[in-house]
């Protein structure tokens, strides 16, 4: 049983943000959206409140902008090698699961855009079960749905991804930040309980035996 996180594990979450910003910019200023998009992304990288800026400059409710962000159809792509790994798992009659935090509509839109729903045997989304990582409930939901001799969890966020699977006896594997991860403070969580059993530089490094 091989279970994956979604954001910054199967694709870069920053690309979701870029996709949403582009759609919002095109809506607010169709004649000069690229300049607005550039401004938005710059503000984000400077840790300024992008939605507050847009609300003020374009007289638009923040709630409307947030809804556009969350509900847009994302233009995102899988990391190289993901489909090869999925196909290798399936060729050995393995099962594939997803455990991800976030809103149901948003996370399912990402999975649909990535084109991998037909590979996934079970999806656990925090909003749908009322529990977020690092709670063990999310991982136990996979165990209850899909029986297996061994469980592997591949993810990226040391703050919350590996505490529960380590406790439950899963094999935990961390995909190292490629420099574009949304969460980039792994150095703060290098305690034994937070660390994975194994590190990989790329999804392509996963060896399906």
H or E element that contains 117: none
H helical segments located in the chain: 13-28, 33-45, 50-57, 62-71, 82-91, 104-114, 126-129, 137-145, 163-168
Q: Mark whether 110 and 156 lie in a shared domain.
A: yes
Question: What is the predicted pLDDT for the residue at 148?
Answer: 84
From 71, 90, 120, the end of a domain falls on 71
pLDDT along the chain (209 residues), means of 10: 97 97 98 97 96 97 97 97 97 96 97 98 97 96 92 97 97 95 88 94 90
From 56, 71, 86, the end of a domain falls on 71
Parent domain of 152: 2-11+77-205
CATH code, domain carrying 92: 3.40.50.1000
Q: Mark whether 22 and 63 lie in a shared domain.
A: yes
Q: Mark whether 67 and 113 lie in a shared domain.
A: no
Q: Mark whether 97 and 197 lie in a shared domain.
A: yes
Tokens of 163: 């505490």
Q: Mark whether 162 and 190 lie in a shared domain.
A: yes
Tokens of 10: 């199967």
Reported pTM: 0.94
Q: Mark whether 141 and 47 lie in a shared domain.
A: no
């Amino acid at each position: 049983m091989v279970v994956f996180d979604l954001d910054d594990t199967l694709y870069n979450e920053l690309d979701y943000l870029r996709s949403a910003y582009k759609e919002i910019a095109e809506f607010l200023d169709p004649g000069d959206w690229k300049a607005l998009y550039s401004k938005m992304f710059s503000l984000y990288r400077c840790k300024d409140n992008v939605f507050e800026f847009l609300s003020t400059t374009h007289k638009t409710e923040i709630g409307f902008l947030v809804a556009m962000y969350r509900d847009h159809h994302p233009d995102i792509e899988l990391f190289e090698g993901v489909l090869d790994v999925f196909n290798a798992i399936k060729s050995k009659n393995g099962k594939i699961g997803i455990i991800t935090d976030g809103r149901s509509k948003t996370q399912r839109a990402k999975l649909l855009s990535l084109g991998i729903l037909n590979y996934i045997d079970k999806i656990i989304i925090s909003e749908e079960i009322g529990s977020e990582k690092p709670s063990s409930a999310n991982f136990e939901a996979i165990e209850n749905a899909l029986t297996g001799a061994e469980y592997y969890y591949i993810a990226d966020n040391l703050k919350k991804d590996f505490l529960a699977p380590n406790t439950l006896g899963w094999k935990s594997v961390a995909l190292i930040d490629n420099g574009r991860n949304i969460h980039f403070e792994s150095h703060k969580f290098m305690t034994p309980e937070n660390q994975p059993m194994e590190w990989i530089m790329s999804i392509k490094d996963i060896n399906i035996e």
